[in-house]
Copies of this chain bind each other. A is one copy, B any other.
Amino acid sequence: MDNSVSPMPEAPLAMMEVEKTPSSTPMHDCPPPPDKRYDDDEKSTWQCGSWCEYIFVVVTSSILLLSAIVMTVFWVIFYRQGYSLEDPGKEFNFHPTLMIAGYITFAGFSVLLYRICRCCSNLIVKLCHTFFHACAIPCIVLGFLAVFDSKNQTATPHFYSLHSWLGLICMGLFAFQFVIGFFSFLVLLCCENATYKFRSTMVPIHASVGVATFMLAIGAAITGFTEKALNDIGRDTYSTMVEEGIIINSIAIILIALGILVPFAVRRTNSPASFKVYVTETI
């Protein structure tokens, strides 16, 4: 990681050191060696165990994030008659696909970037993070419109189920996060020294609410899949362990695995031996 392209190049050294080694305890006043950097140290302490864990977490999470959307598309095409804007039933099928793409795959990769991109500057990671989240927005909006229009056409009531309640909360949090993140961590960089304190206060809040939104999206998805299985396959058929039921359950299990792995990956200290700063706790 190249510190020269840090988003805070003009920040005072003391300030930068706080960012680089926030996990050091203030118990005793031992000044950090001036030419020793967090990132240099990080490289040297990255032993085999850390690399294995890094590769395991990144590769497994990436496979699961892609599997979730691929399996959803597979399920819709082969078991739900595919996509169409003409038929309300097929129009509905855009909903799970776009929501999984937006809330899980794009948002998941966006969160995971802080773990994957260990060799890029912080600003590049932030821009990629914003880009992935920006890609998620049309998916979520169109996914919402798909189910809204599909239900309107079949005169089905809206917003009565737990799934819809969770989905609405999730959309609100997502919008809040995007606006706060965009202004706090990109726009306010125009006067970065003056806004340093505010931005550093916002980092753990943004990270925690972001992980909570991701978990909430998974909660909404698994209740949605349960609804779909009971309403469309039907309880009697579902209980005979039909193929479609197993596929739906498997997609949901993948989402649950992501709900455990992604927050773990992004919150994990860089090296098990040194209890370093969380990757989400850099500005």
Contacts and interface: CB of A to CB of B under 8 A. Distances in A.
- The residue in A218, A225, A226 that gathers the most chain B C-beta atoms within 10 A of its C-beta is A226
A27 B22 contact: no
A275 B22 contact: yes
Total copies of this chain within the assembly: 2
Interface string A31-69: 011001010010001000000000000000000000000
Interface string A233-245: 0010011110001
A276 interface: yes
A219 B249 contact: no
Contacts of A33: 27-28
A117 to B, nearest CB: 22
Contact of A226 (B45, B161, B218, B239): B161
A42 to B, nearest CB: 10
Interface residues of A, number: 60
Contact of A219 (B27, B230, B256): B256
A21 B32 contact: no
B23 A23 contact: yes
Interface string A266-280: 010000111111000
A23 B269 CA distance: 10
Given A156-B239, A226-B226, A231-B235, A248 B162 contact: yes
A152 B245 CA distance: 21
Interface stretch (A6-14, A79-87, A179-187, A208-216): A208-216
A4 interface: no
15 contacts: A22-B275, A23-B24, A24-B25, A24-B27, A28-B33, A156-B239, A161-B239, A162-B222, A165-B249, A165-B253, A223-B226, A226-B226, A227-B230, A275-B277, A275-B281
